[in-house]
Amino acid sequence: MSSIKCECGHVNPEGTDICQNCGRPLSKEEKEKRLADMRYDGAAIRSMTHKRSIVDKVWNFFSSVKIGVSIIIAILVAAAIGTFLPQVFYVPAANEAQAAQYYEEHYGTFGKIYNALGLSDLYGSWWFMALIGLLGISLVVVSLDRGIPLYKSLKNQRVARHPSFMKRQRLFGEGEVSDPDAAMAKAKQKLMESRYRIREEDGAILAEKGRWSRWGPYVNHVGLIIFLLGVMLRALPGFYVDESMWIREGETLAVKGAPGLFVENKGFSYEVYNKENTDEVFGEAIDRVGTVASKYQTDVALYEQPEDALPGSTEKEFVKDYSIVVNKPLKYEGYSIFQMDFKLDELKSMTFALQNKKDEKSKGELTINLANPEKEYDLGNGSKVQVLDYYPDFNGFEDGEPQSATPVPNNPAFLFKMFTPEKPEGETSFVAIRQTLEPLGENQYRMAFQSAETRNVSGLTIRKDKTLPIIALGGLIFLIGVAQGSYFNHRRFWIRKADDGRLLVAGHTNKNWVALKRELDKATEFAGLPAYHDQRDPEEEIEDHTEGESKA
């Protein structure tokens, strides 16, 4: 690899813009600039020097900030498009066909196209994931590309810089001073009071502080990379559990996705705010909007199968009782169980009487547990009822056959066969709510509905997320990095004697020039240094350098 030798004799790697020893401009572009490009202190960065092989080209693609910003903007635009219509997971549809129908029905042609283009599942699409992947790669590459040279050049900084370097700083001043050494000593004292670290080298001073803030962007990028890695890990089995289950009051069920755990639903309650149970300041709001939910709560008992339990054994040990409410999940062994949904008053059982149609005399009653109906109910005295078929969620006939939409007893219907001493061969009756059919001819008996019992059902979600610590760590590092890079600045102030005895001063900061100027003003005034000018401010109103009230 070739290298560039500076007039001062220092040999710099190819691609260096500013001599790492004396600060003279080296490259042609750099020489043409009025002000020095201080972004990496003029150090060579890989992407600017290696341009030949395929690897270089890929590397340079990802390390380009233009590309990086394009990726960010692409993600931004895609994310926005995804909010035009509700995403498919917020839509009540069980499959693709239903979803397609939903979008077309609710949002017309636009909805149809939106769904057909896959925008209804935009965040789960391969190309959206690919964009996030590109962002991650870009972050890794750019951090290596720039971070390392920046680190090296700041670490090896020299104190005495060539006048051409100082003249090309944004803040620059030069002038005669009666006693340069005394002025420099006083400046040093004042700058130390502002907590600058001072280095001296033959008639030159470098005052510097806050260099560590320059690593801020790299720290925050590392945080983002860790965060994205955490998100990727969820795709691996075992790292992430996301299940939901319905559990009726009184039931004990295995917790989905959590082998060995069981919950018992001891009761679900739903409460609303009303004028009696709330403070009177809420009265007006309750009048205006009507009832407002105040609490969804499932009281549960948690059980665990002992570790040494035999396979297939139903032995369970009680762990604890807990009331799950929104915002307060039940947490146990890395699993969290959330209150997510509920159904009030689901039918639990129905009671019928076997009745003679003529005189309404009953042969007895039977109660059917809708979750688990029995095959036959014996009423004694030669009467019994068989349940030939059960349709928990009856929704009409298809080809003469009754259909059940779901296994949930929303609208139970039964095909009964009734045996009585009068009709020992049995009579068939189809019974649904408010509907009775007698498919095989007029019956003498009927099943007369007596009463029903209901219970509530809780919808619980079970999560376990082993990636959370990684994601949280990434987030924390990101925050530390942005704070480091944003709330602290890297400030430098150079003073040196020129050959003709005059003093040169120059200042640089990566951000917050006003604060830098304030500190330099103090030192300048105290030590009688030559005044500096802001070479970037065409309006140059900063005459008194105080940014005082005058500035508006």
Q: By CB under 6 A, tell whether 65 contacts ligand HEM.
A: yes
Q: Is 300 helix (H, G, I), strand (E, B) or coil?
A: strand
Q: What, of ligand HEM, another protein, none, does residue 375 touch, CB below 5 to 8 Å by kind?
A: none
In the complex with ligand HEM, the residue whose CB is nearer, 151 or 332, is 151
Where in 466-505 is the site for ligand HEM (CB under 6 A)?
482, 485-486
Q: Which residues contact 335 (CB under 8 A, 6 or more apart)?
A: 241, 255, 257, 258, 261, 462, 463, 464
| Dist. CA 438–CA 359, nearest whole Å | 19
| Dist. CA 392–CA 369, nearest whole Å | 11
Single-letter code of the amino acid located at 507: G
Minimum Å gap between C-beta 217 and ligand HEM is 3
Q: What, of another protein, ligand HEM, none, does residue 123 touch, CB below 5 to 8 Å by kind?
A: another protein
Where in 133-192 is the site for ligand HEM (CB under 6 A)?
135, 138-139, 142, 146, 150
> Which of these, 473, 523, 489, lies nearest to 503 by C-alpha position?
523
In the complex with ligand HEM, the residue whose CB is nearer, 6 or 71, is 71
Confirm if 395 and 403 have CB atoms less than 8 A apart: yes
Minimum Å gap between C-beta 485 and another protein is 8
| Dist. CA 419–CA 449, nearest whole Å | 17
Minimum Å gap between C-beta 477 and ligand HEM is 12
By Cβ distance, which residue is nearest to ligand HEM?
68
| Dist. CA 148–CA 508, nearest whole Å | 21
Residue 128 has which token pair?
Answer: 């959206």
Minimum Å gap between C-beta 66 and ligand HEM is 8
Minimum Å gap between C-beta 73 and ligand HEM is 11
What CA–CA distances, in Å, run from 422 to 38, 383, 444?
105, 9, 9
Phi-psi region of 333 (alpha: psi -120 to 50; beta: other; left: phi over 0): left
Across 90-125, b (16+ Cβ under 10 Å) vs e yields: eeebeeeeebbebbbeebeeebeebbeeebbebeeb
In the complex with another protein, the residue whose CB is nearer, 180 or 481, is 481
Q: What, of ligand HEM, another protein, none, does residue 206 touch, CB below 5 to 8 Å by kind?
A: none
Minimum Å gap between C-beta 142 and ligand HEM is 4
Where in 189-248 is the site for ligand HEM (CB under 6 A)?
217, 220-221, 224
Q: Which residues contact 476 (CB under 8 A, 6 or more apart)?
A: 223
Which stretch, 68-76, 229-237, 406-414, 416-424, contacts ligand HEM (CB under 6 A)?
68-76
Quick note: the x/- pattern for ligand HEM over 108-137, rule CB under 6 A, is ---------------------------x--
Q: What, of ligand HEM, another protein, none, does residue 541 touch, CB below 5 to 8 Å by kind?
A: another protein
Q: Which residues contact 348 (CB under 8 A, 6 or more apart)?
A: 248, 369, 370, 371, 452, 453, 454, 455
In the complex with ligand HEM, the residue whose CB is nearer, 65 or 531, is 65
Quick note: the x/- pattern for ligand HEM over 14-53, rule CB under 6 A, is -------------------------x--------------
In the complex with another protein, the residue whose CB is nearer, 251 or 534, is 534
In the complex with ligand HEM, the residue whose CB is nearer, 67 or 340, is 67
In the complex with ligand HEM, the residue whose CB is nearer, 68 or 426, is 68
Where in 285-314 is the site for ligand HEM (CB under 6 A)?
none
Confirm if 153 and 40 have CB atoms less than 8 A apart: yes
Q: What, of another protein, ligand HEM, none, does residue 82 touch, CB below 5 to 8 Å by kind?
A: another protein
Minimum Å gap between C-beta 57 and ligand HEM is 15
Minimum Å gap between C-beta 49 and another protein is 18
Q: Is 210 helix (H, G, I), strand (E, B) or coil?
A: coil
| Dist. CA 106–CA 374, nearest whole Å | 43
The DSSP-derived string for 522-533 is HHHHHHTPPP-E
What CA–CA distances, in Å, run from 14 to 5, 61, 147, 356?
9, 20, 17, 105
Long-range Cβ pairs for the range 425-432 (8 Å, 24+): 426/386, 428/388, 430/402, 431/352, 432/391, 432/394, 432/402
Minimum Å gap between C-beta 307 and another protein is 27
* CB atoms inside a 10 Å sphere around CB 527: 21
Minimum Å gap between C-beta 84 and another protein is 8
Q: What, of ligand HEM, another protein, none, does residue 502 touch, CB below 5 to 8 Å by kind?
A: none
Minimum Å gap between C-beta 491 and ligand HEM is 14
| Dist. CA 479–CA 482, nearest whole Å | 5
Angle at 427 between CA 421 and CA 428, to 5 degrees: 155
Confirm if 177 and 503 have CB atoms less than 8 A apart: yes
In the complex with another protein, the residue whose CB is nearer, 338 or 416, is 338
- Beta strand 503-509 with 491-497: parallel, antiparallel or unpaired? antiparallel
Q: What, of another protein, ligand HEM, none, does residue 359 touch, CB below 5 to 8 Å by kind?
A: none
Quick note: the x/- pattern for ligand HEM over 361-400, rule CB under 6 A, is ----------------------------------------
Residue 470 has which token pair?
Answer: 């990684």
Q: What, of another protein, ligand HEM, none, does residue 139 touch, CB below 5 to 8 Å by kind?
A: ligand HEM
Across 350-370, b (16+ Cβ under 10 Å) vs e yields: bebbbbeeeeeebbbebbbeb
Q: What, of ligand HEM, another protein, none, does residue 301 touch, CB below 5 to 8 Å by kind?
A: none
In the complex with another protein, the residue whose CB is nearer, 81 or 185, is 81
Residues that bind ligand HEM (CB under 6 A): 39, 65, 68, 71-72, 135, 138-139, 142, 146, 150, 217, 220-221, 224, 482, 485-486
